[in-house]
């Protein structure tokens, strides 16, 4: 079973700053099936990025994804107030789906 480890657990930043969130896989994976989701308190997750770098429909261009192999990154270029929440990476390995444990982006 592939394990996804997200870091940091909590990221403290100010509005307007750049956020860099990491997702590391326990073994090399296909970037085609790496996704990122955002979850606000009391809400279902929302898809941000699929295929490691493609933005989902309606997602602002301040969100971008990159990476390959075992290391993937979600970047938020300029944090807006509504961006301070939880983020999860997600992987499909051909038979199962796995989530990382999440990164919380909080206001500094």
Residues at the site binding another protein, with contacts judged by CB under 8 A: 1, 32-33, 35, 37, 39, 44-47, 50-51, 54, 56-57, 88, 90, 92, 95-102
- Shortest gap between Cβ of 102 and another protein (angstroms)? 5
- Shortest gap between Cβ of 54 and another protein (angstroms)? 7
CB closer to another protein, 70 vs 92: 92
- Shortest gap between Cβ of 88 and another protein (angstroms)? 6
- 3-state secondary structure labels for all residues of 10-54: EEEECCCCCEEEEEEEEEEECHHHEEEEEECCCCCCEEEEECCCE
Q: Do the Cβ atoms of 5 and 100 come closer than 8 Å? A: yes
- What is the β-pairing status of strands 63-76 and 86-92? unpaired
CB closer to another protein, 70 vs 98: 98
CB closer to another protein, 17 vs 30: 30
Other CB atoms within 10 Å distance of the CB of residue 29 = 22
């Amino acid at each position: 079973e592939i394990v996804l480890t997200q870091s940091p657990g909590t990221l403290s930043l100010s509005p307007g700053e750049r956020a860099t969130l990491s997702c590391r896989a326990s073994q090399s994976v296909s970037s085609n099936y790496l996704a990122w989701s955002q979850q606000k308190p009391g809400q279902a997750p929302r898809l941000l990025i699929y295929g490691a770098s493609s933005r989902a429909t309606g997602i602002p261009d301040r969100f971008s994804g990159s990476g390959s192999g075992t290391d993937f990154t979600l970047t938020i270029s300029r944090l807006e107030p509504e961006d301070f929440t939880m983020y999860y990476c997600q992987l499909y390995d051909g038979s199962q789906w796995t989530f990382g444990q999440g990164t919380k982006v909080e206001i500094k």
